[in-house]
Structure 1
Amino acid sequence: MTHITCSRELAALLNDSSPATPEDATETPIDWVDGLWVNGDTYDVDAAATTSNRLAFADGSAAVEWKPAGSDCWGSTNPCGHVPGRPDARERAHWVPASTAEWACAHDNVGVSRDWRTVNVWDANGYTDTTVYDTVAEAEAAAEREVAALAEICSEHHTDED
């Protein structure tokens, strides 16, 4: 991985990394508030949103949470997923995206994605509009407004028979 653009990539990076020293193995995200260094780039950490089991980037692009072994995150808005060739994620401790949501209208190929504090509205013609909000609550509310507007347009153009 050369850079991190979203929570899923951050989770994958952390899940695939091993501590370099025994001291590193005892660290939590609180120990990383000076930044996370990846492939020569330093990602600033949001010290206010980062806890002992959550790592959040200051730019609002990504946040992950630690799930202890045995935690069940299936059926949540942030499913752990199964990686081929590895034990089921629920059987081991692992990182998952902290707060994401996605909606798409299949008829019109439009949608809204939210990853932590970032909201992206897109369509299949290449349109994309990304806004980073000051808080997760503001991003959630903005994403809900965008979904409602697009869902109304989508329902006006299509019936259940389409």
Structure 2
Amino acid sequence: MDAIAEATSLKKQLDLLRPLSKEEELRIMQKFRLDWNYHSNHLEGNTLSYGETRALILFNITAQGKPLKDHLEITGHNEAVLWILEVVKDDRPLTETFIRELHKLILKECVIPFSDDQKIEKYYDQTLTEKEIQAFVNAEIRRHTKFIQQHLDQLDKTDNAD
């Protein structure tokens, strides 16, 4: 059975259980959100267990001895999931701005000011100046912007074909 047929079959099974109570709907969405956050981040190498992810998302309890980066990844991803759920309700179009906003939420981007003479340690003990980092960032922005636009154009072509 192909994925579309399987999804359609599962949707029909779900519809037979309707209407769901508000409590049941909230419980299902919480489980969906926890699973989505845990599995998505675990695939990327996050070290938080499912229980630690649950404690962080539901109760804002951090796991002792685990990297701050892992906690920020989970909370950033969770904010993105919650935001996506809100955006879907508003029937907002898929745009480059939307993708960039989502990217910032997931990565918990922060801006750190550097002085001109300050050096920044990079992976593998490479030292980069602020100007070198800015050149790299600008190149990456151009590359990602082109990539996003190509995929949005392809999505438009697919939508217009329907």
Asked if these proteins are the same fold (TM beyond 0.5), I'd say: no
Q: TM-score, normalised by structure 2?
A: 0.28
Greater relative contact order, per chain length (Cα 8 Å cut-off, separation 6+): 1
Q: TM-score, normalised by structure 1?
A: 0.28
Which has the larger share of strand?
A: 1
